[in-house]
């Protein structure tokens, strides 16, 4: 048997290098053009006052004026910031408690029809948010809504869920809790089920009560998953927009104004491009800072833990 | 057909050195086994030869050609992996011919080589199966077939037998060696199993801590180990080690009270090494004891703890001079005596002439190597 | 684990999770049922009312409604953006996860992907609007598809990286020994072996693109308006057309429902893998 010479020799190294750059190029181009450049664009726009005349834009350089206005006078935005913070902290707290409790119950006692259950819990996550908004608009409607229908059938007074400034934000939070608790549940359940069962069984012999087991065993073991979920759910709840748009459009007054809605309102309804850009820039950098800090904390935590063991 | 030459190869990950300034030449058509405990760097060395691992220093030559910076696919080497690494989405035939098709070999040639390999490996009739439908032994054959079909100048084997059961492993060992002789290529074989290395290799390269401990034929390595590590690693049951001062009285050499029959040459050697009167380590293989009828002046009293019957041999494990000692008894010769052994029996052993090794206690180097 | 008795704990856990499941399903079923009712029955709050296809007919075939076109737009945008994002993300994922390359490039791409994934989309739409308007591409399919690609890219990248990383290292090395360059390895070894992950990720990307509201609201025109935007406009008309709104909602749920019925385990795997970064 005589060996056949390889027709291609030696140039593989060069071709391999070329592939590395070619395969990354599309992703890098897309990121640069559509996510990095827009940030620069916003930074630029935020220094101008844009007015419209006969369908064409006129740019006047105003320096930091838009930022001054934003920090001193833009009440909608700061109402939005306040509401967003209240919203994020409250919904994530409830979602975590509820999701963790359900996951714990299912892990310890089981449930019947797991595949069907999982399917149902996936529904709110995958159907379009606008559909969820539509649904709840129909359910919480003042005159023809399902809840008020049921209330009046029971002879109780009806409630203006979305029109009453005192409860509108609460109603939106209720929808968000409904929307995202299943996700937390599925995550927590997956986390609990991946814990080492032998450790759990060994621990069960050492503890005397359910609360001891929770406090000293289950929660500490789940802590990394819990921390990551909480942090990222909070950051992601800053993205809320679709439901607010459809349910209350920020109203009544500014009672359900959230940051994203303020940006949309200023940018698109009021055509204040400069102000909207300044708002976007401030929000962008605030959230980015939060992400970087949170990420750093999580990395350090896991790093320390690795060192101890 | 292909000589592989490694010149002062080193490899480190950050601060940890895996391979340390290693030189090695593997002759054309040679079957070389890289042996060592886990973490010795043997698999890394194989992957360095293959080009799958970058090196921190040194050069690799194939037939005098520098291939250090040549991509693995251009080195004309084929590798058989421990996990077999068969492509699960391809049939047996596709797996085996993949490399040829990648090199755009003519269809007729591909078919011819595939046919040959299928016959050699007894895989005829399995061409269209997927790896998932094969037994472990068959998968192992496909993995070898994938290498054979290429007719490379160097075969690299990374513990290819370790996932087979004991019986199949013994058979495949023979077949693999036969295959090597038939194909006439250079083979480099990584294993942690000394039996595999001893039975198949022309030469053994024994590695520990990223350094070559000894290179030699299996016989060479077994009979005259270069150091304490090699003596301990090769040979099963392990070589017996006793520690104590070495004393000489005329032609009589003793360690503690044990008489070590030695030739003139050996005495001279030890004298020259300056080891007389110093503490040393004595190594004696289990088969190199003589069982005496009764105690004499320089004999070793072994109190039997356990008797392991393996068929042809009996391994007697016990205590002597505060150390664990294993003795191999040949049933054909000492059958009667072996039958009479029980826990607690005391046997009197004498080392045989020159069938022992002295190691320096600090460096571990063998002082009695000829 | 063999026989589980109906204990108090089991009763509690089942009541809890199935109670929640009912809270999810109940409203959905009620809304869907509205899609088959006459407006008058919805307004008077009848739970059991005469059945009708009228809302669907109105929505799909009446002169005043463009919903069929809106659905088509959604499908075009979702399909195109999914195809593009999956191809570029998978190629990059293989390179980032398995190949030698300068570390700073690897970490800048991944770091930016993580950051961008978490930033509120709304902070970008203003800029996108300006950019596309400036080059006359506002309201085109191109604008929607391009933004959906970048919007889904981080998730696709992370998901495909988990699938590519799961391939055994030996297989990659064997292919290298067999003469594969990186490109050949990608097309002949990696792509066929991550097919399952590819399908799961594509399905999720399609769903996310299909569901998008914020981007489509600001970047689409009358001609390219997608289904979610259309549904939202029904809610803002002077006289809210409840029945048609419900029917529209029902139809835009179809991809998600199909996915859950056909590939539930895929979705769970993808979603959970993506959630833990």
pTM of the full structure: 0.85
β partners of residue A48: A61
Structural domain contains residue C5: no
Which residue among A1, A6, A11 places its CB closest to the CB of B103? Answer: A6
pLDDT tens for B52-89 read 998 999 999 999 899 998 888 888 899 999 999 999 99
Q: Do C174 and B77 touch (CB under 8 A)?
A: no
CA distances from A106 to A103, A140, A186, C4 (A): 5, 31, 11, 13
Is residue C29 included in any domain, yes or no?
A: no
What is the pLDDT averaged over residues B8-33? 92
Chains near C (3 or more Cβ pairs under 8 Å): A, B
Total count of domains within chain A: 1
Report the chain C residue with the minimal C-alpha distance to residue B99.
C178
- Which chain C residue has its CA at the smallest distance from B80's CA? C174
What is the residue whose two structure tokens read 């844009």? Answer: A50
Q: Which 8-state DSSP code applies to residue B38?
A: T
> Which residues from chain C sit within 8 angstroms of residue B79, using beta carbons?
173-174, 177
Residue A1 has pLDDT above 50, yes or no: no
Calculate mean pLDDT across residues A182-203.
85
Decide if A37 is inside a domain.
no
Residue C74 pLDDT exceeds 50:
yes
C183 to A131: CB separation less than 8 angstroms, yes or no: no
Of B74, B151, B183, the CB nearest to A9: B74
Give yes or no for a contact between B71 and A12, defined as CB atoms under 8 angstroms apart: yes
* A33 inside domain: no
Which pair of tokens denotes residue B305? 């703890």
Which of C178, C188, C189, C198 should be substituted to probe chain B, the one whose Cβ sees the most B Cβ atoms within 10 Å?
Answer: C178
Tell me, yes or no, whether A103 lies in a domain. yes
**Euclidean distance between the first and final Cα of chain C, in Å?**
33
Q: What is the pLDDT of residue A306?
A: 39
Determine, yes or no, domain membership for A236: yes
Q: What is the pLDDT of residue B159?
A: 92
A289-298 average pLDDT score: 86
- C273 pLDDT band, cuts 50/70/90, is low
Q: Is residue C69 part of a domain?
A: yes
Q: What mean pLDDT value characterizes chain A? A: 84
Domain range enclosing C226 = 54-274
Residue A6 has pLDDT above 50, yes or no: no
Is residue C116 domain-resident?
A: yes
Lowest mean pLDDT among A9-13, A46-50, B313-317: A9-13
Residue ranges making up the domain that contains A179: 64-308
- pLDDT (0 to 100) of residue A14: 85
Which of the other chains make 3 or more beta carbon contacts under 8 angstroms with chain A?
A: B, C
Mind listing the pLDDT tens digit for each residue in B339-355? 888 888 899 999 998 89
Q: What is the pLDDT of residue A5?
A: 41
Query: Has residue A253 been placed in a domain?
Result: yes
Give chain B positions within 8 Å (CB) of A20. Answer: none
Establish if C191 touches chain B: CB-CB under 8 angstroms.
Answer: no
Q: In chain A, which residues have their Cβ closer than 8 Å to the Cβ of B103?
A: 4, 6-8
pLDDT higher than threshold 50 for residue A3 = no
Q: Which of A23-27, A240-244, B37-41, C228-232 has the highest mean pLDDT?
A: A23-27
Contact A187 C253 (CB under 8 A): no
The backbone torsions φ and ψ at residue B364, rounded to the nearest 5 degrees and listed phi first, read: 80, 0
Percent of chain A having pLDDT more than 90?
21
Which CATH number does the domain housing residue C93 bear?
1.10.3720.10
Higher pLDDT among residues B198 and A305, named by residue:
B198
Residue C163 has pLDDT above 80, yes or no: yes
Confidence of residue C238 (pLDDT cuts 50, 70, 90): low
pLDDT of residue A8: 44
Whether C169 is in a domain gets the answer: yes
Chain C residues within 8 A of B77 when measuring between CB atoms: 177
- pLDDT score of C171 more than 70: yes
Contact map slice: A 241-260 vs C, CB within 8 A:
241-242, 245-246, 259-260
Judged by CB atoms closer than 8 Å, whether chains meet at C119 and A6 is answered as: no
pLDDT at A305: 44
The region of weakest confidence among A43-57, A169-183, B299-313, B316-330 is A43-57
Q: Torsion angle of alpha carbons A217, A220, A224, A229, nearest 10°?
A: 90
CB contact A112 to C (< 8 Å): yes
Residue among B47, B101, B98 nearest B75 (CA):
B47
CB contacts of A18 in chain B (<8 Å) are none
Task: From chain B, pick out residues whose CB is under 8 angstroms from the CB of A1.
Answer: 113, 116, 151, 183
**Token pair for C34:** 């509205």
Contacting chains of B (3 CB pairs or more, <8 Å) are: A, C
- Domain membership of residue C38 (yes or no) is no
Structure tokens at B348: 């009197």
Looking at residue C55, what is its pLDDT?
A: 84
Segment B260-285 mean pLDDT? 89
Contacting A with CB below 8 Å, chain B residues are 69-71, 73-74, 76, 103-105, 109, 113, 116, 151-153, 183
Q: Which residue is listed with tokens 């726009």?
A: A45
Nearest CB to C181; choose among A19, A123, A238:
A19
Looking at the predicted structure, is the pLDDT value of residue C8 above 80?
A: no
Residue A4 has pLDDT above 70, yes or no: no
The answer to whether residue C236 sits within a structural domain is yes
Q: Tell me the CA end-to-end span of chain A in Å, nearest whole number.
A: 57
Cα first-last separation, chain B:
33
Please tell me which residue of chain A has the smallest CA distance to C122.
A260
Average pLDDT for A35-46: 90
Distance (Å) from the alpha carbon of B328 to chain A's nearest alpha carbon: 44
Q: Convert the pLDDT of each residue in B202-234 to its tens digit.
A: 999 999 999 999 999 999 999 999 999 999 999
How many domains in chain C?
Answer: 1
Contact A4 B105 (CB under 8 A): yes
Task: Say what the pLDDT of residue B322 is.
Answer: 84
Considering the domain boundaries, does residue A5 fall inside one?
no
Q: And the tokens for A38? A: 């827009």
CATH code, domain with A161? 1.10.3720.10
Put simply, the answer to whether B88 touches C193 (Cβ < 8 Å) is yes
For residue A134, being part of any structural domain is answered with: yes
pLDDT at C156: 94
**Residue A57 counted as domain residue:** no
Q: Residue range C90-119: average pLDDT?
A: 92
Is C201 a member of any domain?
A: yes
> Which candidate, B101, C169, C176, C101, places its Cα nearest to that of A18?
C101
Written as six digits, the tokens of C159 are 């998901």
Cα of C63 to nearest chain A Cα, Å: 23
């Amino acid at each position: 048997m005589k060996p056949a010479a390889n027709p291609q020799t030696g140039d593989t190294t060069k071709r391999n290098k070329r592939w590395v750059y070619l395969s990354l190029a599309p992703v890098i181009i897309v990121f640069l053009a559509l996510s990095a450049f827009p940030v620069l664009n916003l930074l630029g726009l935020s220094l101008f006052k844009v007015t419209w005349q006969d369908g064409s834009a006129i740019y006047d350089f105003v320096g930091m004026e838009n930022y001054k206005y934003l920090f001193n006078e833009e009440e909608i935005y700061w109402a939005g910031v306040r509401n967003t913070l209240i919203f994020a902290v409250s919904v994530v707290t409830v979602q975590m408690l509820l999701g963790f409790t359900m996951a714990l119950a299912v892990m310890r006692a089981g449930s019947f029809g797991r595949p069907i259950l999982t399917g149902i819990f996936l529904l709110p996550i995958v159907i379009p948010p606008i559909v969820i908004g539509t649904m709840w608009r129909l359910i919480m409607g003042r005159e023809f809504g399902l809840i008020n229908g049921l209330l009046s059938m029971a002879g109780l007074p009806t409630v203006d869920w979305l029109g009453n400034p005192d409860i509108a934000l609460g109603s939106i939070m209720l929808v968000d809790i409904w929307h995202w608790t299943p996700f937390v549940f599925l995550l927590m359940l997956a986390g609990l089920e991946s814990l080492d069962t032998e450790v759990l069984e060994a621990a069960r012999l050492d503890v005397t009560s359910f609360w001891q087991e929770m406090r000293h065993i289950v929660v500490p073991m789940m802590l990394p998953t819990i921390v990551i979920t909480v942090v990222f759910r909070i950051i992601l709840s800053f993205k809320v927009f679709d439901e607010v748009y459809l349910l209350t459009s920020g109203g009544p007054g500014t009672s359900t104004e959230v940051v994203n809605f303020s940006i949309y309102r200023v940018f698109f309804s009021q055509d204040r491009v400069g102000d909207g850009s300044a708002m976007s820039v401030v929000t962008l950098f605030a959230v980015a800072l939060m992400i970087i800090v949170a990420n750093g904390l999580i990395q350090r935590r896991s790093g320390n833990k690795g060192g101890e063991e | 057909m292909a000589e592989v030459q490694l010149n002062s190869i080193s490899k480190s990950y950050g601060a940890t050195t895996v391979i340390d300034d290693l030189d090695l030449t593997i002759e054309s058509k040679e079957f070389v086994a890289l042996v060592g405990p886990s973490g010795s760097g043997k698999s890394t060395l194989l992957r360095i030869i293959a080009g799958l691992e970058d090196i921190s220093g040194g050069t690799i030559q194939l037939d005098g050609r520098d291939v250090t910076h040549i991509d693995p696919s251009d080195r004309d080497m084929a590798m058989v992996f421990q996990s077999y690494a068969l492509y699960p989405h391809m049939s047996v035939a596709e797996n085996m011919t993949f490399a040829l098709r990648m090199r755009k070999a003519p269809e007729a040639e591909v078919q011819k080589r595939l046919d040959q390999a299928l016959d050699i490996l007894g895989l005829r009739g399995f061409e269209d199966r997927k790896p998932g439908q094969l037994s472990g032994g068959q998968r192992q054959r496909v993995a070898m077939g994938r290498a054979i079909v290429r007719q490379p100048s160097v075969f690299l084997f990374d513990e290819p037998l370790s996932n087979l059961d004991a019986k199949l492993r013994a058979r495949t060992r023979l077949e693999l060696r036969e295959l090597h002789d038939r194909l006439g290529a250079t083979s480099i074989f990584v294993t942690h199993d000394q039996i595999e290395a001893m039975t198949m290799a022309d030469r053994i390269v024994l590695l520990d801590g990223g350094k070559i401990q000894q290179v030699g034929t299996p016989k060479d390595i077994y009979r005259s180990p270069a150091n304490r590590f090699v003596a301990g690693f090769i040979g099963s049951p392990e070589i017996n080690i006793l520690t104590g001062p070495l004393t000489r009285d005329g032609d009589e050499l003793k360690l503690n009270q044990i008489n070590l029959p030695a030739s003139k040459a050996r005495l001279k050697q030890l004298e020259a090494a300056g080891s007389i009167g110093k503490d040393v380590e004595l190594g004696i293989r289990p088969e190199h004891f003589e069982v005496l009828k009764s105690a004499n002046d320089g004999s070793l009293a072994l109190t039997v703890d356990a008797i392991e019957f393996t068929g042809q041999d009996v391994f007697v494990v016990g205590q002597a001079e505060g150390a664990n000692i294993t003795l191999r008894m040949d049933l054909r010769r000492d059958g009667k005596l072996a039958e009479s052994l029980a826990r607690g029996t005391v046997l009197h052993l004498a080392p045989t002439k020159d069938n022992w090794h002295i190691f320096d206690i600090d460096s571990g180097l063998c002082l009695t190597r000829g | 684990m063999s026989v589980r008795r109906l204990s108090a704990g089991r009763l509690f856990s089942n009541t809890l999770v199935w109670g929640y499941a009912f809270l999810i399903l109940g409203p959905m079923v009620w809304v869907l049922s509205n899609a088959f009712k006459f407006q008058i029955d919805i307004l008077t709050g009848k739970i059991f009312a005469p059945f009708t296809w009228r809302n669907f007919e109105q929505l799909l075939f009446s002169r005043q409604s463009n919903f069929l076109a809106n659905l088509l737009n959604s499908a075009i945008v979702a399909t195109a953006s999914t195809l593009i994002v999956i191809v570029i993300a998978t190629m990059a994922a293989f390179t980032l996860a398995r190949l030698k390359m300068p570390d700073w490039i690897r970490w800048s791409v991944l770091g930016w992907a993580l950051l961008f994934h978490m930033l509120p989309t709304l902070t970008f739409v203003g800029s996108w609007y300006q950019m596309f308007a400036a080059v006359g591409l506002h309201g085109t399919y191109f604008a929607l598809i391009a933004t959906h690609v970048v919007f889904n890219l981080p998730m696709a990248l992370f998901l495909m990286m988990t699938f590519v990383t799961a391939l055994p290292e030996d297989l990659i090395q064997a292919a290298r020994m067999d003469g594969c360059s990186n490109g050949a390895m990608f097309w002949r070894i990696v792509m066929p072996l991550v097919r399952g992950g590819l399908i799961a990720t594509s399905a999720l990307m399609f769903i996310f693109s299909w569901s998008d509201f914020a981007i489509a609201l600001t970047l689409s025109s009358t001609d390219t308006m997608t289904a979610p935007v259309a549904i939202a406009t029904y809610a803002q008309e002077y006289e809210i057309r409840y029945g048609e709104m419900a029917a529209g909602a029902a139809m835009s749920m179809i991809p998600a429902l199909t996915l859950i019925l056909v590939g539930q385990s895929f979705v769970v795997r993808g979603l959970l893998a993506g959630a833990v970064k």
